[in-house]
Structure 1
């Protein structure tokens, strides 16, 4: 028997396919406005979740492509990120400098446009209304670590990071200086 308040922890993973933190229908393959991401699973975790009644998906080979070695599927699971909930998830953006930013409903969409190095997610297991015994995952706490490896200059300029007070809007002079 599954505990309906059970949490599922998916650690040291990554996203597969396009993320849709923003809920933009143009970012979803089927035009949905749901905020959803797909997390890659290890084979053991995939089987554990399937045993619990969670719908786990896997990649399929491209019929137009020839493979030198046997095709190995990648297991993944959709995770809903319901920011409009009474209890929205805590989604943290961990920047290249290690700063942890709690994303609100307006900011979380920016995660769709960053390179991601690692994801850790604690999910709520929620039973589907129309299919008793089947469960979906809803993010409760998620840490999304931004990838700095692709930016060769990030480390060089990290020492120039301005304090937040300096990042405020600059004052605009009332008179033109010329």
Structure 2
């Protein structure tokens, strides 16, 4: 019997920690070759909803070696797996600074590890863990990753060079 997979949307968020779209073991803290990102949960209500569904929501902890000027506020996040070698790979879109939407494939998705990200919108499938019945992981289904140009003070100045120059008759 086929059951429809339940989906979860996490809109207008960001990544936390190093992304590993490429599946490079050197980018992963534990040396894993799984493509995975950590996505911040923007609201307490969404975090509670994910917990109710059986997803393990994690939170940041204060660094004991740091002194904080203000009280430490933990950030809630959840790991999201990206299975590009699947029969139905996710649709991961890179939204450029010019607003162009580029669909990433297995060869081009690794470029997302090296851009500044402004915003992330995600739809993920809930998949039950084999060894832990009742616990679920998130697998990306559709993801939009918006590139940030705000940190680049020269982006607007040199944007004209991205377009082909008009022909000049001699």
- 63-72 or 117-126, larger mean C-alpha shift: 63-72
Contact kept, 8 Å, 1:19 with 1:112, in 2: the verdict is yes
Cα distance in 1 for residues equivalent to 2:67 and 2:153 = 34
The equivalent residue for 1:78 is 79
The equivalent residue for 1:17 is 17
Cα distance in 1 for residues equivalent to 2:78 and 2:139 = 11
Cα distance in 1 for residues equivalent to 2:103 and 2:62 = 38
**Superposition pairs of residues 38-49 of structure 1, within 5 angstroms:** 38-41=38-41, 42-49=43-50
Cα distance in 2 for residues equivalent to 1:104 and 1:159 = 28
* RMSD of aligned alpha carbons: 1.2
Contact kept, 8 Å, 1:20 with 1:35, in 2: the verdict is yes
Cα distance in 2 for residues equivalent to 1:133 and 1:37 = 22
Shift of 1:4: 5.8
1:92-131 Cα distance to aligned partner (Å, 9 max, x none): 0000111100001000000000000000000001011111
Shift of 1:69: 2.5
Matched, 1:6 2:6: yes
TM-score (normalised: structure 2): 0.91
**Superposition pairs of residues 139-178 of structure 1, within 5 angstroms:** 139-162=140-163
SS of 1:155 mapped into structure 2: coil
Shift of 1:51: 1.1
TM-score (normalised: structure 1): 0.87
Cα distance in 2 for residues equivalent to 1:107 and 1:135 = 28
Cα distance in 1 for residues equivalent to 2:88 and 2:139 = 11
Contact kept, 8 Å, 1:40 with 1:77, in 2: the verdict is yes
Shift of 1:43: 2.1
Q: How many residues align?
A: 161
Shift of 1:133: 0.6
